[in-house]
Amino acid sequence: LRDFLLVYNRMTELCFRHCVCGLNYRLLTGREESCLDSCAARLVRANHRLMSAYVGLVPALLQRRAAEHGA
């Protein structure tokens, strides 16, 4: 849960800094909203790719560690 919250907070901060130009209005402009949508989607896709790679590598790492500890 902690890792998820760290990723979520970092994503929120990055997209907010990139997309929101001013705090003059109560609501986001259409341009800001679409920028935030695409920014979040881009970061979610990148996170999914990283997690897929991680899930693929973990079993091999665990087997290697087990072999090292067994030897």
Domains of the chain, with CATH numbers?
1-69 (1.10.287.810)
Within 10 angstroms of residue 43's Cβ, the number of other Cβ atoms is 17
CB of 37 within 8 A of CB of 65? no
pLDDT for res 54: 84
pTM recorded for the entire structure: 0.70
pLDDT (average), residues 3-24: 91
